[in-house]
């Protein structure tokens, strides 16, 4: 039987070549199909990864603008911190508000700040002050403290009418200003 097959191959070289080519083609088709499946799985993985990355890229502008806002806020905060040792400048802040609001500071003291806690970033510098003025002046003094560039926390305040003049009010105030550590 092997002899007949050898003779057929010698006598029919064209048919033999076609059979070999068909066999090789079948092997090639099988190999290409296997590779295609592997490439399709890789494509699905990369597409999913790309979709996630696209979401992050789309959020980049929003995150960048939020980062800028936070950095600006931190910069403004750091620029307006009081320095505990700079007593003259710290007290001048209150005197400048006094000049704008037609009030008169009768007492102003910077107290010793408490030690900085482990979870605190900024120092709290306490002040006690007393001021006199009419209702509009005292109200404006408090408003200027609230909206001014320094970060002030009003801890306690008392407003009372002065005995000598009915229009004159007295303000006793206890505040903390955010200070550099």
pLDDT along the chain (181 residues), means of 10: 78 83 88 88 90 81 89 86 84 88 89 80 89 90 89 89 79 88 81
Domain ranges of the chain: 2-77, 87-179
The pLDDT assigned to 119 comes to: 81
Over residues 127-155, the pLDDT tens digits come to: 999 999 888 999 999 999 988 888 888 99
Residue 161 dihedral angles phi and psi, to the nearest 5°: -80, 135
Class of domain 87-179: alpha beta
State pTM to two decimals. 0.61
The pLDDT assigned to 72 comes to: 92
Q: Which long-range contacts (CB under 8 A, 24 or more apart) does 58-66 make?
A: none
Q: How far apart are CA 145 and CA 152, in angstroms?
A: 7
The pLDDT assigned to 79 comes to: 84
Task: Tell me the sheet residues that pair with 157.
Answer: 173
The upper half-sphere exposure of residue 112, i.e. CA atoms within 13 Å in the direction of its Cβ, equals 2
């Amino acid at each position: 039987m092997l002899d007949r097959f050898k003779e057929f191959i010698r006598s029919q070289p064209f048919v033999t070549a076609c059979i070999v080519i068909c066999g090789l083609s079948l092997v090639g088709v099988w190999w290409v199909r296997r590779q295609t499946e592997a490439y399709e799985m890789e494509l699905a993985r990369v597409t999913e990864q790309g979709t996630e990355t696209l979401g992050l890229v789309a959020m980049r502008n929003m995150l960048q603008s939020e980062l800028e806002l936070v950095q600006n806020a931190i910069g403004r905060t750091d620029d307006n911190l009081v320095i505990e040792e700079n007593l003259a400048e710290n007290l001048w802040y209150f005197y400048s508000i006094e000049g704008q609001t037609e009030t008169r500071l009768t007492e102003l003291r910077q107290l010793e700040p408490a030690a900085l806690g482990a979870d605190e970033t900024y120092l709290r510098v306490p002040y006690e002050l007393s001021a006199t003025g009419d209702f509009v002046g005292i109200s404006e003094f408090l408003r200027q403290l609230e909206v001014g560039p320094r970060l002030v926390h009003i801890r306690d305040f008392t407003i009372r009418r002065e005995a000598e003049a009915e229009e004159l009010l007295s303000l006793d105030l206890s505040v903390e200003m955010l200070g550099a550590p």
